[in-house]
Structure 1
């Protein structure tokens, strides 16, 4: 299996190991495999049996092996076994699926060490990074941005690992107290928290600016854990397959997914699974008030907002107005036209976006690729959380509430069960849960006292050069060999 950039018309090939540590392609594009492996009935049947008999980790190894041919299958199996097991994950199923009602299911992706769906990819990414760095006898400095959960998931996955430092940018004051406590409470010598004066998109822009400096990136061995990293999307493809297997009884049955998303990473993995032939009917994009993606799927206009226009909402992990992974999807929509993709996401995006409204490909987004979308407000979230408690005695976090609301918006037009992918446990968003239900969310035992610890974070201005200096100074002062 070879990979190439979404902006490279010459399709320069890379191996999985080549792109694992790099993040963005040299031309600013995103890596995708040359083809998506196709699933047949025999494969799906064997996976159904494998999941029942050996569990999530074994199935993950099988899925990974379709995309990775430069790491021995036995090593992949060992890595997935270390990444996905109990008690690291609170539930031995790793991803339980429960029926809510109204034809809606919940795929529980928050059983990991930081109670967020990001753990599903990060725990595997930690294994892959450490493996490859050891194989190459080198080190890596991870630079990432988080709007809430990516940072803590990355740090918990990478803390204490040989050859790895993590520099994580957060928008100052934009995360919940629980999210801040999870990240800033870590005092591992290879973890560096940076609170940037700005919103998430500013943090993401700084990451891209630093990563685009080829000399700096090479000198300081900068890598990425944000969803621009292909390995993260690959890990997420696995739970679409697992959720589908758990909801269906045979290989002919289809399932739809409702996915809370801001950066388009989580649902992009669903797009890939669908392109592989997994029987997915619809993929519902659920947004909050920062509705750039909902606007595109309804109108064809992709209009990223400025930092000033990006609202702070009660589902903060989706407070994003420039969706990094969207380029991968549009690349496929445009029949993998790298020249046009480079134009849309390079030149035109700098001029405040682009439109496919009058393009013949726009109807295909629903007809061929199965996409729908919906938008939620704070009032919608409160109403959904309260209603789900009243009807089913189930408490969901505000992002998952966005997903349930979107599923309900479309359920009458869909003939298949809808799995809403959970984003996080309610405890991470206590203020919103209290507002919706007048009750404190349950605090899992493993998080008792987390709000009481000290904080370890450095405040910096929204300036890529200042961040570079901090990275240089920190690397000089620490040893991760």
Structure 2
């Protein structure tokens, strides 16, 4: 399997090159040269097979000859082993007739991003050992990516991890997963700005190709294709389990569009998926793009009750637009060159139609988020995190659908206890494995939103782990 840039200006690369480099030299994102597919037998088997088995099948499709069957199952069994609080990894809860909640928060950092990060850790270790190499991994986070990366990569040989988080824009629990890990190879950097500021710094570091080579830079944000393929697995598993009632429809709380894109990838793999509802908070650029055909960024993201979705520019939207324009890199580059200059792009008519054929989108404000927290609890007894509550409100916002409907529960409510308590009068407790989180010592470095300052810190702290 080879990978190409969405912008068409870089040579194709291998799966492991995609994993280790993340961003293409022309500024685009890597996507598969073509779409593989699971067999009908594999799709059916996913309903009852161990999660690691389905994950290995998907991984082998995207890794191709670079990964043997034995290596693939070894990596996935390690990724989805005893560190998960629920042996089902992503258990499904029925909350009404044809209506389900998919719990994605049973991993080490209590967020859906653990599903991908636990696999990425093994993939990185495998590739770095084979190449006798070392990496500086950087991560911009709106809250959950950073914690998941830290839990997966702390103490991993050959890796230095630098997590850029927006100062004062993450919950206390989210912050402590990044600052209180005790990992000598982990550097939690509090950036004076919002998530978009942190993400822009990461992209600028990759754009400086000399610096990227000097420190062996690699990303774990969802610009890394391996994140997307790993997340597609729970769509395959869930759709296979429920498909007897018709194509399965998903509602996805979305900030950077990676999780919604993973649903589309699962659909391309052959999973019986109907429509995908993208649920945004007040940072609703994607929802407006689906409504109007114009994708535009705001000057700054809006702080909301669902901070992991406080993103004004969704990186992975580029990948789905690439699909929508017929995988034409030249057209995509022209659109994004204009976006860089003006802050907006107009989707060509056929591309807009293609997106609407697969997706719906709906924006939810904080008042509606509070309502949804209360409504779900009253209707089902389930306590949601505020991001999942955005999805609860949005799930009826699109076209009428037939078949089961699945809401992705993206984080444990204990990551946002103040919000949950203010609405429900319930203080959700941390699970046993991290109950001592507030007792752990924190280590964090405050840095300005200055590229030279961040690059200097990374240079000075490569290889400093004991």
TM, length-normalised to structure 1 = 0.94
Which secondary structure state, in structure 2, belongs to the residue aligned with residue 451 of structure 1?
helix
RMSD (CA atoms):
1.5
Partner of 2:356: 366
**Pairs within 5 Å for 1:377-456:** 377-410=365-398, 413-456=400-443
Per the TM alignment, residue 45 of structure 1 is displaced from its structure 2 partner at its CA by 2.6
Partner of 1:26: 25
Partner of 2:207: 212
Per the TM alignment, residue 102 of structure 1 is displaced from its structure 2 partner at its CA by 5.0
Which secondary structure state, in structure 2, belongs to the residue aligned with residue 112 of structure 1?
coil
Once residues 360 and 443 of structure 1 are traced to their aligned partners in structure 2, the CA distance between those partners, rounded to angstroms, is: 47
Which secondary structure state, in structure 2, belongs to the residue aligned with residue 195 of structure 1?
strand
Which secondary structure state, in structure 1, belongs to the residue aligned with residue 164 of structure 2?
strand
Q: How many residues align?
A: 465
Per the TM alignment, residue 181 of structure 1 is displaced from its structure 2 partner at its CA by 1.4
Once residues 348 and 321 of structure 1 are traced to their aligned partners in structure 2, the CA distance between those partners, rounded to angstroms, is: 13
- The answer to whether structure 1 residue 107 and structure 2 residue 94 are counterparts is no
Per the TM alignment, residue 42 of structure 1 is displaced from its structure 2 partner at its CA by 3.0
Report if aligned partners of 2:43, 2:236 keep a CA contact under 8 Å in 1: no
Once residues 104 and 57 of structure 1 are traced to their aligned partners in structure 2, the CA distance between those partners, rounded to angstroms, is: 25
Equivalent of 2:223, from 223, 228, 243? Answer: 228
Report if aligned partners of 2:109, 2:147 keep a CA contact under 8 Å in 1: yes
TM, length-normalised to structure 2 = 0.97
Per the TM alignment, residue 272 of structure 1 is displaced from its structure 2 partner at its CA by 1.2
Q: Deviation per CA, 1:267-313, whole angstroms, max 9, x where unpaired?
A: 00111111222211101000000101110011111001122xx1110
Report if aligned partners of 2:283, 2:312 keep a CA contact under 8 Å in 1: yes
Report if aligned partners of 1:177, 1:451 keep a CA contact under 8 Å in 2: no
Partner of 2:341: 350
Report if aligned partners of 1:155, 1:183 keep a CA contact under 8 Å in 2: yes
Query: Alpha carbons of 1:479 and 1:443: their partners in 2 closer, same or farther (altered >3 Å)?
Result: closer
Partner of 1:239: 234
Which secondary structure state, in structure 2, belongs to the residue aligned with residue 175 of structure 1?
coil
Partner of 1:42: 41
Report if aligned partners of 1:294, 1:375 keep a CA contact under 8 Å in 2: yes
Q: Deviation per CA, 1:95-114, whole angstroms, max 9, x where unpaired?
A: 10111125321111111001
Once residues 346 and 133 of structure 1 are traced to their aligned partners in structure 2, the CA distance between those partners, rounded to angstroms, is: 34
Partner of 1:327: 318
Per the TM alignment, residue 324 of structure 1 is displaced from its structure 2 partner at its CA by 0.5
Per the TM alignment, residue 40 of structure 1 is displaced from its structure 2 partner at its CA by 4.1
Query: Alpha carbons of 1:245 and 1:173: their partners in 2 closer, same or farther (altered >3 Å)?
Result: same
Q: Which runs of 5+ in 1 are unaligned?
A: none
Partner of 1:5: 5
Report if aligned partners of 1:143, 1:222 keep a CA contact under 8 Å in 2: yes
Partner of 1:256: 249
- The answer to whether structure 1 residue 155 and structure 2 residue 150 are counterparts is yes
Partner of 1:314: 305
Partner of 1:298: 291
Moved more, 165-174 or 32-41: 32-41
Per the TM alignment, residue 364 of structure 1 is displaced from its structure 2 partner at its CA by 2.3
Report if aligned partners of 2:206, 2:212 keep a CA contact under 8 Å in 1: yes
Partner of 2:13: 14
Q: Deviation per CA, 1:158-205, whole angstroms, max 9, x where unpaired?
A: 011110010000000000111111111123110000000000000000
Q: Which runs of 5+ in 2 are unaligned?
A: none
**Pairs within 5 Å for 1:52-71:** 55-69=50-64, 70-71=66-67
Which secondary structure state, in structure 1, belongs to the residue aligned with residue 352 of structure 2?
coil
- The answer to whether structure 1 residue 375 and structure 2 residue 375 are counterparts is no
Report if aligned partners of 2:150, 2:177 keep a CA contact under 8 Å in 1: no
Per the TM alignment, residue 365 of structure 1 is displaced from its structure 2 partner at its CA by 1.6
Which secondary structure state, in structure 2, belongs to the residue aligned with residue 475 of structure 1?
coil
Moved more, 182-191 or 261-270: 182-191
